[in-house]
Amino acid sequence: MADWYAFWLIAPISILSAGAMVLARNAVHAALLLIVNFFTLAVFFLILGSSFLFVVQIIVYAGAIMVLFLFVIMLLGVDRPVPLTERIRGQRWIATVLGLALVLEIGLAVRLGLGLSTGKVPDFSRVNAGGNVRALARVLFNSYFFPFEVTSILLTVAAIGAMLHGRRNIAEEETVDTAVGETAT
Amino acid sequence: MRTPISYFLLVSALLFTIGTVGVLVRRNALIIFMSIELQLNAVNLALVAFSRQNGNLTGQVLAFFSMVVAAAEVVVGLAIIVSLYRKRRSADVDDASLLKG
């Protein structure tokens, strides 16, 4: 029964913070609301019996990724509000209508696939025997060991790519600055 | 556990849709990027919910990999946004119209 109360406490916060994130004019406010949303998702993971992903969600998303976001926002200084006028006419209405259609479509698919009020959720304690971390490690390092190793290559390539993008080329910067017509500060 | 799994899937669908609308509507590259993160997280929630429904940990492993890919994606994407900002002095995606004839 506790999960029922936790769900109905957390779900509105999750949806509202996500909606406010999309509507926020200030990028810093959007980032903070997204952190709230990540925490609510972590609680969902805990309700669903996935304590490892609960911790990883908080450490990786709410910790590392959002700090990176805030760092870039502060670095670029784009924390001033932006004008919200439309450049393509009717873009917002069309996007909202398409979004509603997508929600209805997924809702219909869920209703057809699982049913909206299936009372019995299968027992998870046998799967999580010995703790969620141990059970997950057993699956990860047996069946999915090769993909796990491949992610190390992915992370290395991502780090090299970020380094190449962030590199400041002095000659290139001068030409760009004169082309834009601004003096470098 | 009394909460039906389908409720989690509906929350996931709503979050994914909010992220999609954010990508379609906003023009600040950083907020578009945050909306993409929201979409990735919504899919993670669906994966974990299905893992619970099927009594199988594969969905959680897939959500874990998706988090790793999201971390790599954030690193590269933010680097692209920073270099775009250096060139155009703006994080507005409409200003990045180099290919416009």
pLDDT tens digits for range A54-69:
999 999 988 889 999 9
Q: B92 phi and psi, to 5 degrees? A: -85, 125
Chain A / chain B CB contacts < 8 angstroms: 252
pLDDT at B16 over 70: yes
Given an 8 Å threshold on Cβ–Cβ distance, is B25 in contact with A95? yes
At residue A38, the pLDDT reads 95
At residue A81, the pLDDT reads 59
Read off the pTM. 0.87
Task: Give the residue-averaged pLDDT of B30-58.
Answer: 92
What residues are paired with B28 via a beta bridge?
B92
Burial class (CB in 10 A: 0-12, 13-18, 19+), A171: exposed
Contacts with B3 from chain A: Cβ below 8 Å: 3-4, 7, 47, 121
Within chain A, all domains assigned CATH 1.20.120.1200 are found at: 1-81
Q: Where are the domains of chain B?
A: 5-89
Given an 8 Å threshold on Cβ–Cβ distance, is B85 in contact with A78? yes
Quick one: closest CA in B to A33, which residue?
B34
At residue A172, the pLDDT reads 58
- Rounded to whole angstroms, how far apart are CA atoms A96 and A92? 6
**What length does chain B have?**
101
Chain B touched by A112 (CB under 8 Å): no
Question: Which of B77, B75, B83 lies closest to A165 in space, CA to CA?
Answer: B83
Contacts with A4 from chain B: Cβ below 8 Å: 2-3
Of A52, A96, A151, Cβ closest to residue B68: A151
With a threshold of 0.85, tell me whether the complex ipTM lies above it: yes
**DSSP state letter for A183:** -
Long-range contacts of A69-75 (CB under 8 A, 24+ apart): A69/A31, A69/A34, A69/B30, A69/B33, A69/B34, A69/B74, A69/B78, A70/A28, A70/A31, A72/B30, A72/B78, A72/B81, A72/B82, A73/A27, A73/A28, A73/A31, A73/B30, A75/B82
Task: Give the residue-averaged pLDDT of A173-177.
Answer: 55
Tracing tokens 């997204």 back to the chain, one arrives at: A34
Chain B touched by A20 (CB under 8 Å): no
Question: DSSP letters of A20-61?
Answer: HHHH-SSHHHHHHHHHHHHHHHHHHHHHTT-HHHHHHIIIII
Q: Which fold has domain A1-81?
A: Four Helix Bundle (Hemerythrin (Met), subunit A) (1.20.120)
pLDDT tens digits for range A125-149:
778 888 889 999 999 999 999 999 9
Question: Which of B77, B92, B26, B100 lies closest to A25 in space, CA to CA?
Answer: B26
Quick one: closest CA in B to A30, which residue?
B31
Summary mean pLDDT of chain B = 89
CATH top class, domain B5-89? mainly alpha
